[in-house]
Chains A and B, each alone.
Chain A
Amino acid sequence: MSETKYSTDHEYIRLEAEVGVVGISTYAQEQLGDIVYVELPNVGAKLSKGDEVAVIESVKAASELYSPVSGEVVEVNEALNDEPALVNSDAQGGGWIFKISLSDKSELDEMMDEATYTSHTS
Protein backbone atom coordinates (compact mmCIF):
# COMPACT_ATOMS: atom_id res chain seq x y z
CA MET A 1 0.00 0.00 0.00
CA SER A 2 1.36 3.39 -0.94
CA GLU A 3 1.53 6.49 1.16
CA THR A 4 -1.75 8.36 1.79
CA LYS A 5 -1.87 11.89 0.41
CA TYR A 6 -4.22 14.68 1.42
CA SER A 7 -5.71 17.70 -0.29
CA THR A 8 -6.27 21.04 1.43
CA ASP A 9 -9.99 20.28 1.10
CA HIS A 10 -9.60 17.19 3.32
CA GLU A 11 -9.87 14.48 0.67
CA TYR A 12 -7.37 11.66 0.93
CA ILE A 13 -6.08 9.38 -1.81
CA ARG A 14 -3.89 6.32 -1.63
CA LEU A 15 -2.74 4.11 -4.46
CA GLU A 16 -3.67 0.45 -4.42
CA ALA A 17 -2.35 -1.41 -7.44
CA GLU A 18 -2.16 1.77 -9.53
CA VAL A 19 -5.76 2.73 -8.65
CA GLY A 20 -6.42 5.71 -6.38
CA VAL A 21 -8.76 5.13 -3.43
CA VAL A 22 -10.45 8.39 -2.44
CA GLY A 23 -12.42 9.41 0.63
CA ILE A 24 -12.53 12.09 3.29
CA SER A 25 -10.06 12.28 6.13
CA THR A 26 -10.79 11.15 9.65
CA TYR A 27 -10.45 14.77 10.68
CA ALA A 28 -13.08 15.85 8.12
CA GLN A 29 -15.63 13.28 9.22
CA GLU A 30 -15.25 14.49 12.79
CA GLN A 31 -15.98 18.04 11.67
CA LEU A 32 -19.05 17.02 9.69
CA GLY A 33 -20.63 14.96 12.44
CA ASP A 34 -22.93 12.04 11.74
CA ILE A 35 -22.91 11.25 8.03
CA VAL A 36 -26.35 10.16 6.87
CA TYR A 37 -25.97 9.87 3.12
CA VAL A 38 -23.32 9.82 0.44
CA GLU A 39 -24.28 10.65 -3.14
CA LEU A 40 -21.83 8.55 -5.13
CA PRO A 41 -20.51 9.36 -8.63
CA ASN A 42 -21.20 7.19 -11.66
CA VAL A 43 -18.61 4.62 -12.61
CA GLY A 44 -16.97 5.79 -15.82
CA ALA A 45 -17.23 9.49 -14.96
CA LYS A 46 -14.23 11.39 -16.26
CA LEU A 47 -12.92 13.93 -13.80
CA SER A 48 -10.51 16.80 -13.76
CA LYS A 49 -8.77 17.65 -10.56
CA GLY A 50 -11.08 19.80 -8.44
CA ASP A 51 -14.32 18.62 -10.05
CA GLU A 52 -17.27 18.11 -7.75
CA VAL A 53 -17.67 14.36 -7.63
CA ALA A 54 -19.81 13.37 -4.65
CA VAL A 55 -21.95 14.90 -1.93
CA ILE A 56 -21.63 13.96 1.71
CA GLU A 57 -24.62 14.75 3.85
CA SER A 58 -24.98 15.08 7.56
CA VAL A 59 -28.38 15.87 9.03
CA LYS A 60 -27.95 19.61 8.76
CA ALA A 61 -25.38 20.06 6.01
CA ALA A 62 -24.42 18.87 2.57
CA SER A 63 -20.77 19.06 1.60
CA GLU A 64 -19.38 18.59 -1.87
CA LEU A 65 -16.43 16.31 -2.38
CA TYR A 66 -13.90 17.48 -4.98
CA SER A 67 -11.74 15.04 -6.85
CA PRO A 68 -8.14 15.46 -5.65
CA VAL A 69 -6.79 14.19 -8.98
CA SER A 70 -7.80 13.81 -12.62
CA GLY A 71 -8.89 10.49 -14.10
CA GLU A 72 -11.80 8.09 -14.49
CA VAL A 73 -13.98 6.65 -11.76
CA VAL A 74 -13.56 2.87 -11.84
CA GLU A 75 -15.48 1.79 -8.75
CA VAL A 76 -17.73 3.32 -6.08
CA ASN A 77 -18.29 2.11 -2.54
CA GLU A 78 -21.81 0.71 -2.79
CA ALA A 79 -21.68 -0.29 0.88
CA LEU A 80 -22.22 3.38 1.75
CA ASN A 81 -25.73 3.25 0.31
CA ASP A 82 -26.82 1.04 3.18
CA GLU A 83 -24.31 2.15 5.76
CA PRO A 84 -23.21 5.76 5.35
CA ALA A 85 -21.97 5.61 8.96
CA LEU A 86 -18.87 3.81 7.63
CA VAL A 87 -17.55 7.25 6.72
CA ASN A 88 -17.65 8.12 10.41
CA SER A 89 -16.43 4.84 11.85
CA ASP A 90 -13.72 4.05 9.30
CA ALA A 91 -13.20 7.08 7.08
CA GLN A 92 -9.85 6.02 5.71
CA GLY A 93 -10.66 2.29 5.52
CA GLY A 94 -14.11 0.85 4.84
CA GLY A 95 -15.51 4.38 4.43
CA TRP A 96 -13.71 5.05 1.13
CA ILE A 97 -15.93 6.71 -1.48
CA PHE A 98 -14.65 5.97 -4.96
CA LYS A 99 -11.69 4.55 -6.87
CA ILE A 100 -10.08 6.41 -9.72
CA SER A 101 -7.59 5.51 -12.43
CA LEU A 102 -5.26 8.49 -12.48
CA SER A 103 -4.49 10.23 -15.73
CA ASP A 104 -1.63 12.25 -14.28
CA LYS A 105 0.20 10.79 -11.32
CA SER A 106 2.30 13.89 -10.91
CA GLU A 107 -0.77 15.55 -9.39
CA LEU A 108 -0.07 13.47 -6.28
CA ASP A 109 3.21 15.31 -5.79
CA GLU A 110 1.35 18.55 -5.11
CA MET A 111 -0.62 16.96 -2.25
CA MET A 112 0.25 16.84 1.44
CA ASP A 113 1.74 13.87 3.19
CA GLU A 114 0.46 12.63 6.53
CA ALA A 115 2.71 14.82 8.65
CA THR A 116 2.01 18.00 6.70
CA TYR A 117 -1.72 17.32 6.76
CA THR A 118 -1.67 16.71 10.51
CA SER A 119 -0.03 20.05 11.11
CA HIS A 120 -2.42 21.64 8.57
CA THR A 121 -5.42 20.53 10.63
CA SER A 122 -4.13 21.11 14.11
Chain B
Amino acid sequence: MRYLPHSDAERKQMLDVIGVNKADDLFASIPKLAFKSKDFNLPDHSPEFLVQAKLEAMAKKNICASDAAFFVGGGAYRHHVPASVDHLIQRSEWLTAYTPYQPEISQGTLQVLFEFQTQVANLTGMEVANASMYDGSTATAEAALMARRLTRKNKVIMLSGLHPQYLDVVKTYLGDDDGLVCLSEADDANIGSIIDDKTAAIVVQTPDFYGNLRDIKSLADIAHAKNALLIVVITEIVSLGLLEAPGKLGADIVVAEGQSLGNPLNYGGPYLGLMATRQKFVRQIPGRLCGETVDASGRRGYVLTLSTREQHIRREKATSNICTNAGLCALAFSIHLSLLGQKGLAKLAKLNHARAVKLAQALKEIAGVELLNKSFFNEMSVRLSKPANEVVEALAKKNILCGIPVSRLLPNEKEAENLLILTATELTSDEDIDRLSSGLQEVLS
Protein backbone atom coordinates (compact mmCIF):
# COMPACT_ATOMS: atom_id res chain seq x y z
CA MET B 1 0.00 0.00 0.00
CA ARG B 2 1.69 3.14 -1.26
CA TYR B 3 1.04 5.33 1.78
CA LEU B 4 2.41 2.84 4.35
CA PRO B 5 6.21 2.82 4.59
CA HIS B 6 6.99 -0.40 6.53
CA SER B 7 8.07 -3.65 4.93
CA ASP B 8 7.00 -6.82 6.72
CA ALA B 9 10.62 -7.35 7.77
CA GLU B 10 10.68 -3.94 9.43
CA ARG B 11 7.40 -4.63 11.17
CA LYS B 12 8.93 -7.82 12.58
CA GLN B 13 12.05 -5.95 13.76
CA MET B 14 9.89 -3.39 15.50
CA LEU B 15 7.76 -6.05 17.21
CA ASP B 16 11.00 -7.61 18.45
CA VAL B 17 12.11 -4.31 19.99
CA ILE B 18 8.71 -3.97 21.63
CA GLY B 19 9.00 -7.54 22.86
CA VAL B 20 5.84 -9.08 21.45
CA ASN B 21 5.42 -11.86 18.91
CA LYS B 22 2.75 -10.45 16.69
CA ALA B 23 0.95 -7.20 16.04
CA ASP B 24 -2.28 -8.52 17.55
CA ASP B 25 -0.55 -8.69 20.93
CA LEU B 26 -0.49 -4.88 20.93
CA PHE B 27 -4.28 -4.94 21.02
CA ALA B 28 -4.44 -7.24 24.04
CA SER B 29 -6.07 -4.55 26.18
CA ILE B 30 -9.13 -4.62 23.91
CA PRO B 31 -11.68 -7.11 25.21
CA LYS B 32 -12.43 -9.98 22.79
CA LEU B 33 -16.06 -8.93 22.56
CA ALA B 34 -15.09 -5.51 21.32
CA PHE B 35 -13.53 -6.69 18.07
CA LYS B 36 -15.59 -6.26 14.94
CA SER B 37 -18.52 -8.59 14.55
CA LYS B 38 -18.63 -8.78 10.76
CA ASP B 39 -16.61 -8.58 7.59
CA PHE B 40 -16.77 -5.31 5.77
CA ASN B 41 -18.54 -5.14 2.46
CA LEU B 42 -15.73 -2.99 1.09
CA PRO B 43 -13.05 -3.44 -1.59
CA ASP B 44 -9.32 -3.86 -0.98
CA HIS B 45 -6.69 -1.24 -1.79
CA SER B 46 -6.52 0.27 -5.22
CA PRO B 47 -3.91 1.98 -7.45
CA GLU B 48 -4.04 5.71 -8.08
CA PHE B 49 -5.36 5.41 -11.63
CA LEU B 50 -8.34 3.28 -10.59
CA VAL B 51 -9.29 5.58 -7.72
CA GLN B 52 -9.03 8.52 -10.07
CA ALA B 53 -11.17 6.81 -12.71
CA LYS B 54 -13.87 6.02 -10.18
CA LEU B 55 -14.06 9.56 -8.83
CA GLU B 56 -13.86 11.10 -12.28
CA ALA B 57 -16.84 9.02 -13.35
CA MET B 58 -18.86 10.46 -10.45
CA ALA B 59 -17.69 13.99 -11.18
CA LYS B 60 -18.73 13.70 -14.82
CA LYS B 61 -22.34 13.06 -13.84
CA ASN B 62 -22.65 16.60 -12.51
CA ILE B 63 -23.34 19.72 -14.57
CA CYS B 64 -20.58 22.03 -13.47
CA ALA B 65 -20.93 25.80 -13.57
CA SER B 66 -18.29 26.25 -16.24
CA ASP B 67 -20.29 24.02 -18.60
CA ALA B 68 -23.53 25.93 -18.15
CA ALA B 69 -25.06 29.36 -18.40
CA PHE B 70 -24.89 29.91 -14.66
CA PHE B 71 -27.00 32.23 -12.46
CA VAL B 72 -27.04 30.51 -9.05
CA GLY B 73 -26.08 32.43 -5.89
CA GLY B 74 -27.97 32.49 -2.61
CA GLY B 75 -25.00 32.45 -0.26
CA ALA B 76 -22.44 30.76 -2.53
CA TYR B 77 -20.99 32.65 -5.46
CA ARG B 78 -18.99 31.71 -8.50
CA HIS B 79 -16.09 34.08 -9.02
CA HIS B 80 -12.81 33.76 -10.83
CA VAL B 81 -10.03 32.71 -8.45
CA PRO B 82 -6.57 33.69 -9.72
CA ALA B 83 -4.35 30.70 -10.53
CA SER B 84 -1.70 31.75 -8.04
CA VAL B 85 -4.13 31.36 -5.11
CA ASP B 86 -4.59 27.64 -5.58
CA HIS B 87 -0.91 27.16 -6.33
CA LEU B 88 0.10 28.85 -3.09
CA ILE B 89 -2.35 27.09 -0.80
CA GLN B 90 -1.13 23.72 -2.06
CA ARG B 91 2.37 24.37 -0.78
CA SER B 92 3.15 21.80 1.90
CA GLU B 93 3.94 24.45 4.48
CA TRP B 94 0.39 25.78 4.29
CA LEU B 95 -1.52 22.62 3.42
CA THR B 96 0.04 20.17 5.87
CA ALA B 97 0.70 22.32 8.92
CA TYR B 98 -1.59 22.21 11.92
CA THR B 99 -3.03 24.90 14.16
CA PRO B 100 -0.06 27.04 15.22
CA TYR B 101 0.37 25.65 18.72
CA GLN B 102 4.17 26.11 18.57
CA PRO B 103 4.52 29.74 17.50
CA GLU B 104 8.29 29.62 16.91
CA ILE B 105 7.83 27.27 13.97
CA SER B 106 4.41 28.50 12.84
CA GLN B 107 5.06 32.17 12.14
CA GLY B 108 3.91 31.73 8.54
CA THR B 109 0.41 30.67 9.54
CA LEU B 110 0.30 33.15 12.41
CA GLN B 111 1.36 36.15 10.35
CA VAL B 112 -1.21 35.23 7.70
CA LEU B 113 -3.92 35.06 10.39
CA PHE B 114 -2.87 38.48 11.66
CA GLU B 115 -3.02 39.85 8.13
CA PHE B 116 -6.36 38.10 7.55
CA GLN B 117 -7.83 39.59 10.74
CA THR B 118 -6.67 43.04 9.61
CA GLN B 119 -8.14 42.58 6.12
CA VAL B 120 -11.50 41.43 7.52
CA ALA B 121 -11.61 44.25 10.05
CA ASN B 122 -10.80 46.87 7.41
CA LEU B 123 -13.19 45.40 4.87
CA THR B 124 -16.11 45.37 7.30
CA GLY B 125 -15.16 48.66 8.91
CA MET B 126 -14.82 47.04 12.33
CA GLU B 127 -12.07 47.23 14.95
CA VAL B 128 -11.24 43.52 15.31
CA ALA B 129 -11.92 40.24 13.54
CA ASN B 130 -11.29 36.66 14.56
CA ALA B 131 -9.26 34.05 12.69
CA SER B 132 -12.40 32.58 11.00
CA MET B 133 -15.43 30.40 11.70
CA TYR B 134 -16.84 27.39 9.83
CA ASP B 135 -19.07 29.40 7.50
CA GLY B 136 -21.46 32.33 7.34
CA SER B 137 -24.44 30.44 8.75
CA THR B 138 -22.73 29.17 11.90
CA ALA B 139 -21.03 32.55 12.35
CA THR B 140 -24.50 34.15 12.34
CA ALA B 141 -25.70 31.80 15.08
CA GLU B 142 -22.55 32.41 17.12
CA ALA B 143 -23.03 36.18 16.73
CA ALA B 144 -26.56 35.94 18.15
CA LEU B 145 -25.23 34.02 21.16
CA MET B 146 -22.39 36.51 21.55
CA ALA B 147 -24.88 39.40 21.62
CA ARG B 148 -26.78 37.65 24.40
CA ARG B 149 -23.61 37.29 26.46
CA LEU B 150 -22.63 40.92 25.87
CA THR B 151 -25.98 42.46 26.68
CA ARG B 152 -27.10 39.86 29.21
CA LYS B 153 -30.45 40.09 27.43
CA ASN B 154 -32.31 37.33 25.64
CA LYS B 155 -34.43 38.57 22.75
CA VAL B 156 -32.92 38.31 19.28
CA ILE B 157 -34.94 39.82 16.43
CA MET B 158 -34.30 38.41 12.97
CA LEU B 159 -35.43 40.71 10.19
CA SER B 160 -36.95 39.17 7.08
CA GLY B 161 -34.65 38.53 4.17
CA LEU B 162 -32.12 36.47 6.10
CA HIS B 163 -31.03 33.41 4.09
CA PRO B 164 -33.61 30.76 5.13
CA GLN B 165 -30.94 28.15 5.85
CA TYR B 166 -29.06 30.66 8.03
CA LEU B 167 -32.28 31.23 9.95
CA ASP B 168 -32.67 27.47 10.38
CA VAL B 169 -29.15 27.23 11.77
CA VAL B 170 -29.81 30.07 14.20
CA LYS B 171 -32.94 28.26 15.38
CA THR B 172 -30.96 25.07 15.92
CA TYR B 173 -28.19 26.84 17.86
CA LEU B 174 -30.50 28.92 20.02
CA GLY B 175 -32.87 26.04 20.74
CA ASP B 176 -36.61 26.16 21.32
CA ASP B 177 -36.57 29.57 22.66
CA ASP B 178 -39.17 32.30 22.90
CA GLY B 179 -36.30 34.79 22.81
CA LEU B 180 -36.02 34.37 19.06
CA VAL B 181 -38.35 36.63 17.10
CA CYS B 182 -38.53 36.17 13.32
CA LEU B 183 -40.14 39.01 11.43
CA SER B 184 -42.05 38.87 8.18
CA GLU B 185 -41.42 41.38 5.43
CA ALA B 186 -44.47 43.35 6.59
CA ASP B 187 -43.21 43.40 10.20
CA ASP B 188 -39.80 44.80 9.24
CA ALA B 189 -41.16 48.33 8.91
CA ASN B 190 -42.46 48.15 12.47
CA ILE B 191 -39.14 47.18 14.00
CA GLY B 192 -39.17 50.43 16.01
CA SER B 193 -42.19 49.23 17.96
CA ILE B 194 -41.16 45.56 18.15
CA ILE B 195 -37.77 46.17 19.74
CA ASP B 196 -37.86 46.57 23.51
CA ASP B 197 -35.54 46.80 26.50
CA LYS B 198 -35.15 43.03 26.60
CA THR B 199 -33.75 42.94 23.09
CA ALA B 200 -30.16 41.78 22.78
CA ALA B 201 -29.78 42.20 19.04
CA ILE B 202 -31.33 42.89 15.67
CA VAL B 203 -30.01 40.65 12.88
CA VAL B 204 -30.17 41.85 9.28
CA GLN B 205 -28.64 40.56 6.06
CA THR B 206 -27.50 42.91 3.30
CA PRO B 207 -27.76 42.43 0.39
CA ASP B 208 -30.56 40.24 1.71
CA PHE B 209 -31.54 36.81 0.42
CA TYR B 210 -33.68 38.42 -2.28
CA GLY B 211 -30.86 40.72 -3.29
CA ASN B 212 -32.20 43.95 -1.75
CA LEU B 213 -29.82 46.40 -0.08
CA ARG B 214 -30.87 47.20 3.48
CA ASP B 215 -30.57 50.45 5.39
CA ILE B 216 -28.01 49.59 8.06
CA LYS B 217 -27.64 53.03 9.55
CA SER B 218 -31.26 53.50 10.59
CA LEU B 219 -31.38 49.97 12.01
CA ALA B 220 -28.24 50.69 14.05
CA ASP B 221 -29.89 53.79 15.49
CA ILE B 222 -33.02 51.83 16.39
CA ALA B 223 -30.97 49.07 18.05
CA HIS B 224 -28.70 51.41 19.98
CA ALA B 225 -31.64 53.43 21.31
CA LYS B 226 -32.66 50.28 23.22
CA ASN B 227 -29.10 49.28 24.17
CA ALA B 228 -29.31 46.40 21.74
CA LEU B 229 -26.66 45.41 19.22
CA LEU B 230 -26.94 45.38 15.46
CA ILE B 231 -25.64 42.22 13.80
CA VAL B 232 -25.09 42.55 10.06
CA VAL B 233 -24.90 39.40 7.93
CA ILE B 234 -23.23 39.47 4.52
CA THR B 235 -23.27 36.43 2.23
CA GLU B 236 -21.57 38.13 -0.74
CA ILE B 237 -18.38 39.70 0.59
CA VAL B 238 -17.48 41.14 -2.83
CA SER B 239 -20.35 43.60 -2.32
CA LEU B 240 -18.15 45.53 0.12
CA GLY B 241 -16.02 46.67 -2.79
CA LEU B 242 -18.91 48.87 -3.77
CA LEU B 243 -21.16 49.28 -0.71
CA GLU B 244 -20.39 51.09 2.52
CA ALA B 245 -18.75 49.01 5.24
CA PRO B 246 -21.33 48.07 7.89
CA GLY B 247 -18.94 49.12 10.66
CA LYS B 248 -19.03 52.69 9.34
CA LEU B 249 -22.82 52.59 9.59
CA GLY B 250 -23.03 51.50 13.21
CA ALA B 251 -22.95 47.70 13.11
CA ASP B 252 -21.75 46.08 16.34
CA ILE B 253 -21.00 42.62 14.98
CA VAL B 254 -20.49 41.78 11.32
CA VAL B 255 -20.59 38.16 10.20
CA ALA B 256 -20.09 37.04 6.65
CA GLU B 257 -19.55 34.17 4.28
CA GLY B 258 -16.10 34.68 2.79
CA GLN B 259 -16.25 31.96 0.13
CA SER B 260 -16.51 34.46 -2.73
CA LEU B 261 -12.84 35.35 -2.38
CA GLY B 262 -10.34 32.58 -3.00
CA ASN B 263 -12.66 29.61 -2.56
CA PRO B 264 -14.50 27.52 -5.17
CA LEU B 265 -18.18 26.55 -4.91
CA ASN B 266 -17.34 23.02 -3.71
CA TYR B 267 -21.03 22.09 -3.61
CA GLY B 268 -21.39 23.99 -0.33
CA GLY B 269 -18.22 23.49 1.64
CA PRO B 270 -15.67 23.98 2.98
CA TYR B 271 -16.44 27.68 3.21
CA LEU B 272 -15.22 30.48 5.40
CA GLY B 273 -17.05 32.27 8.22
CA LEU B 274 -15.94 35.82 8.96
CA MET B 275 -16.65 37.60 12.22
CA ALA B 276 -15.71 41.14 13.20
CA THR B 277 -16.72 43.36 16.08
CA ARG B 278 -15.73 46.24 18.32
CA GLN B 279 -12.53 46.10 20.36
CA LYS B 280 -14.45 46.34 23.63
CA PHE B 281 -16.39 43.13 22.80
CA VAL B 282 -13.31 41.08 22.04
CA ARG B 283 -13.46 38.92 25.16
CA GLN B 284 -16.82 37.54 24.09
CA ILE B 285 -15.86 36.73 20.51
CA PRO B 286 -15.78 32.98 19.80
CA GLY B 287 -12.99 31.20 17.96
CA ARG B 288 -9.30 31.79 17.59
CA LEU B 289 -7.53 35.13 17.71
CA CYS B 290 -3.99 35.90 16.65
CA GLY B 291 -2.11 38.76 18.27
CA GLU B 292 1.19 40.55 17.88
CA THR B 293 3.93 40.25 20.47
CA VAL B 294 7.73 40.03 20.68
CA ASP B 295 10.16 37.15 21.09
CA ALA B 296 12.89 36.90 23.71
CA SER B 297 15.17 39.06 21.59
CA GLY B 298 12.51 41.70 21.11
CA ARG B 299 11.70 40.78 17.52
CA ARG B 300 8.10 41.13 16.33
CA GLY B 301 6.14 37.89 16.19
CA TYR B 302 2.62 36.50 16.45
CA VAL B 303 0.82 34.07 18.77
CA LEU B 304 -2.68 32.75 19.32
CA THR B 305 -4.00 34.83 22.17
CA LEU B 306 -6.89 35.46 24.56
CA SER B 307 -7.35 31.70 24.53
CA THR B 308 -8.99 31.64 27.96
CA ARG B 309 -12.23 32.25 26.03
CA GLU B 310 -11.83 28.90 24.32
CA GLN B 311 -12.93 25.36 25.00
CA HIS B 312 -9.50 23.88 25.60
CA ILE B 313 -9.08 26.08 28.67
CA ARG B 314 -12.54 27.15 29.78
CA ARG B 315 -14.11 23.78 29.01
CA GLU B 316 -17.77 24.07 30.06
CA LYS B 317 -17.42 27.85 30.49
CA ALA B 318 -16.06 28.55 27.00
CA THR B 319 -17.66 31.13 24.70
CA SER B 320 -18.22 28.38 22.12
CA ASN B 321 -17.17 24.79 21.54
CA ILE B 322 -15.47 25.74 18.25
CA CYS B 323 -11.95 24.34 17.85
CA THR B 324 -10.86 23.77 14.27
CA ASN B 325 -11.73 26.73 12.07
CA ALA B 326 -11.24 27.29 8.35
CA GLY B 327 -7.51 28.07 8.20
CA LEU B 328 -6.76 27.12 4.60
CA CYS B 329 -9.92 28.82 3.30
CA ALA B 330 -8.87 31.93 5.24
CA LEU B 331 -5.46 31.75 3.58
CA ALA B 332 -7.06 31.51 0.14
CA PHE B 333 -9.31 34.47 0.96
CA SER B 334 -6.36 36.50 2.19
CA ILE B 335 -4.21 35.77 -0.86
CA HIS B 336 -7.03 36.61 -3.26
CA LEU B 337 -7.77 39.85 -1.42
CA SER B 338 -4.09 40.81 -1.37
CA LEU B 339 -3.97 40.31 -5.15
CA LEU B 340 -7.05 42.49 -5.56
CA GLY B 341 -6.21 45.15 -3.04
CA GLN B 342 -8.64 47.97 -2.59
CA LYS B 343 -8.47 48.95 -6.24
CA GLY B 344 -9.07 45.48 -7.59
CA LEU B 345 -11.89 44.76 -5.17
CA ALA B 346 -13.65 47.97 -6.16
CA LYS B 347 -13.27 47.07 -9.85
CA LEU B 348 -14.49 43.54 -9.24
CA ALA B 349 -17.51 44.78 -7.33
CA LYS B 350 -18.40 47.30 -10.03
CA LEU B 351 -18.04 44.66 -12.69
CA ASN B 352 -20.38 42.35 -10.76
CA HIS B 353 -22.92 45.11 -10.39
CA ALA B 354 -22.66 46.02 -14.07
CA ARG B 355 -23.26 42.40 -15.11
CA ALA B 356 -26.25 42.24 -12.74
CA VAL B 357 -27.71 45.44 -14.21
CA LYS B 358 -27.35 43.89 -17.65
CA LEU B 359 -29.14 40.77 -16.39
CA ALA B 360 -31.91 42.86 -14.83
CA GLN B 361 -32.45 44.75 -18.06
CA ALA B 362 -32.71 41.50 -20.00
CA LEU B 363 -35.15 40.01 -17.48
CA LYS B 364 -37.40 43.06 -17.66
CA GLU B 365 -37.86 42.44 -21.38
CA ILE B 366 -39.25 38.94 -20.93
CA ALA B 367 -42.99 38.38 -20.76
CA GLY B 368 -43.92 36.47 -17.61
CA VAL B 369 -40.92 37.79 -15.64
CA GLU B 370 -41.37 40.57 -13.08
CA LEU B 371 -38.25 42.06 -11.44
CA LEU B 372 -39.01 42.66 -7.76
CA ASN B 373 -35.92 44.60 -6.63
CA LYS B 374 -35.60 48.34 -6.34
CA SER B 375 -32.00 47.84 -5.29
CA PHE B 376 -29.43 45.07 -5.65
CA PHE B 377 -25.73 44.37 -5.84
CA ASN B 378 -25.30 41.24 -8.02
CA GLU B 379 -28.38 39.24 -7.09
CA MET B 380 -32.08 39.82 -7.68
CA SER B 381 -35.44 38.15 -7.38
CA VAL B 382 -38.17 37.85 -9.98
CA ARG B 383 -41.73 36.57 -10.00
CA LEU B 384 -42.38 34.19 -12.87
CA SER B 385 -45.68 33.32 -14.49
CA LYS B 386 -45.04 29.65 -13.64
CA PRO B 387 -43.74 27.75 -10.59
CA ALA B 388 -40.03 28.49 -10.39
CA ASN B 389 -38.89 24.93 -9.66
CA GLU B 390 -40.46 23.71 -12.91
CA VAL B 391 -38.70 26.45 -14.83
CA VAL B 392 -35.38 25.65 -13.16
CA GLU B 393 -35.65 21.94 -13.98
CA ALA B 394 -36.67 22.62 -17.58
CA LEU B 395 -33.76 25.00 -18.17
CA ALA B 396 -31.27 22.68 -16.45
CA LYS B 397 -31.97 20.21 -19.24
CA LYS B 398 -30.63 22.87 -21.64
CA ASN B 399 -27.52 23.41 -19.45
CA ILE B 400 -28.89 26.68 -18.14
CA LEU B 401 -28.67 26.82 -14.34
CA CYS B 402 -30.97 29.81 -14.04
CA GLY B 403 -31.10 30.41 -10.29
CA ILE B 404 -32.71 29.30 -7.07
CA PRO B 405 -36.43 28.61 -6.80
CA VAL B 406 -37.36 30.17 -3.44
CA SER B 407 -39.76 27.29 -2.84
CA ARG B 408 -36.78 24.95 -2.47
CA LEU B 409 -35.80 26.80 0.71
CA LEU B 410 -39.28 27.90 1.81
CA PRO B 411 -41.56 25.05 0.67
CA ASN B 412 -44.40 26.08 2.95
CA GLU B 413 -44.75 29.62 1.68
CA LYS B 414 -47.36 29.52 -1.03
CA GLU B 415 -46.53 32.98 -2.38
CA ALA B 416 -42.91 31.91 -2.87
CA GLU B 417 -43.84 29.30 -5.44
CA ASN B 418 -43.14 31.47 -8.48
CA LEU B 419 -40.14 33.33 -7.05
CA LEU B 420 -36.71 32.85 -8.59
CA ILE B 421 -33.42 34.35 -7.39
CA LEU B 422 -30.73 35.02 -9.98
CA THR B 423 -27.13 36.12 -9.65
CA ALA B 424 -24.63 37.56 -12.10
CA THR B 425 -20.91 37.84 -11.45
CA GLU B 426 -17.86 38.89 -13.47
CA LEU B 427 -18.06 35.43 -15.07
CA THR B 428 -21.52 36.00 -16.52
CA SER B 429 -21.14 36.67 -20.25
CA ASP B 430 -23.52 38.37 -22.65
CA GLU B 431 -23.95 35.00 -24.30
CA ASP B 432 -25.03 33.46 -20.98
CA ILE B 433 -27.64 36.18 -20.57
CA ASP B 434 -28.87 35.65 -24.13
CA ARG B 435 -29.21 31.91 -23.53
CA LEU B 436 -31.10 32.57 -20.32
CA SER B 437 -33.44 35.01 -22.03
CA SER B 438 -34.34 32.73 -24.86
CA GLY B 439 -34.64 29.77 -22.49
CA LEU B 440 -37.02 31.66 -20.21
CA GLN B 441 -39.07 32.93 -23.14
CA GLU B 442 -39.46 29.41 -24.41
CA VAL B 443 -40.44 27.89 -21.07
CA LEU B 444 -42.76 30.69 -19.99
CA SER B 445 -44.60 31.09 -23.25
Touch A–B, Cβ below 8 Å: yes
Asked if B17 is at the interface (CB within 8 A of a chain A CB), the reply is: no
Interface residues in A83-117 by Cβ distance below 8 A to B read none
The residue in B305, B307, B308, B317 that gathers the most chain A C-beta atoms within 10 A of its C-beta is B308
* Nearest B residue (CB) for A52: B317
Q: Given the complex, which residues of A lie within 8 Å of B305, measured CB to CB?
A: 59
CB closest residue in chain B, given A63: B308
Chain B, 314-335, contact with A by CB distance < 8 Å: what is the 0/1 string? 1001000000000000000000
Residues from chain A with a CB closer than 8 A to the CB of B283 are 37, 39
Kindly state the separation between the CA atoms of A57 and B309 in the bound complex, as whole angstroms.
Answer: 10
Q: Measuring CB to CB, which residues of chain A are less than 8 angstroms from any residue of chain B?
A: 36-37, 39, 57-62
Task: Tell me how far the C-beta of B309 lies from the nearest C-beta in chain A, rounded to whole angstroms.
Answer: 9
**Hey, which chain B residues are within 8 Å of A58, CB to CB?**
308
Apart from A62-B313, A62-B314, 8 more pairs, CB < 8 Å: A36-B308, A37-B308, A39-B283, A57-B308, A59-B308, A60-B313, A61-B313, A62-B317
Nearest chain A CB to B284 CB, angstrom units: 11
User: How many A-B pairs with Cβ below 8 Å?
Assistant: 18
With the chains together, A58 CA to B283 CA distance in Å?
14
- The residues of B that contact A37 with a CB separation of less than 8 Å are 283, 308
Interface 1/0 per residue, B113-132 and A, CB below 8 Å: 00000000000000000000
Interface residues in chain B, defined as those with a beta carbon under 8 Å from any beta carbon in chain A: 283, 305, 307-308, 313-314, 317
Q: Which residues of B contact A39 (CB under 8 A)?
A: 283
B residues near A59, Cβ cutoff 8 Å: 305, 307-308
**Which residues of the other chain, A, contact B308 by a CB distance below 8 angstroms?**
36-37, 57-62
Q: How far, in Å, is B239 (CB) from chain A's closest CB? A: 36
Minimum distance in angstroms from A79 CB to a CB of chain B: 17
Closest beta carbon of chain A to B29's beta carbon, Å: 32
CB distance from B197 to the nearest CB of A (A): 18
Inter-chain CA distance A36–B283, complex, in Å, is 12
A14 to chain B, nearest CB (A): 28
Q: Whose C-beta in chain B lies nearest to the C-beta of A62?
A: B308
Report the bound CA distance from A67 to B401 in whole Å: 64
Residues of A within 8 A of B307 (CB): 59-60
Q: How far is the CB of B433 from chain A (nearest CB, A)?
A: 55
A57 to B283, CA, bound (A): 11
Q: In the complex, how many angstroms separate the beta carbon of A52 from the nearest chain B beta carbon?
A: 10
**Shortest Cβ distance from B11 into chain A, in angstroms?**
40
Cα A59 to Cα B305 with chains together (Å) = 8
The 8 closest A-B pairs by CB, nearest first: A62-B308, A57-B308, A62-B314, A62-B313, A61-B313, A60-B313, A61-B308, A62-B317
Cβ distance B225 to chain A, nearest Cβ, rounded Å: 23
Contacts of B317 in A (CB 8 A): 62
Residues of A close to B314: CB separation below 8 A: 62
Chain B residues positioned under 8 Å from A57 (CB to CB)? 308
B312's closest neighbor in chain A, by CB? A60
18 contacts across the A-B interface (CB closer than 8 A): A36-B308, A37-B283, A37-B308, A39-B283, A57-B308, A58-B308, A59-B305, A59-B307, A59-B308, A60-B307, A60-B308, A60-B313, A61-B308, A61-B313, A62-B308, A62-B313, A62-B314, A62-B317
Q: For the complex formed, measure the closest distance between the CB of A24 and the CB atoms of chain B, giving whole angstroms.
A: 16
Give the distance to chain B from A58, nearest Cβ to Cβ, in Å.
Answer: 8
What's the Cα separation between A95 and B272 when bound, in Å? Answer: 42
A39–B314 alpha-carbon span in the complex (Å): 14
- Tell which of A37, A57, A61 has the most Cβ of chain B within 10 Å: A57
Q: For the complex, what is the distance from the CA of A85 to the CA of B302, rounded to whole Å?
A: 21
Nearest chain-A residue to B314 (Cβ)? A62
Q: A35 to B56, alpha carbons, bound, how many Å? A: 56
Complex Cα–Cα for A39 and B305 (A): 17
- The residue in chain B whose Cβ has the minimal distance to the Cβ of A64 is B317
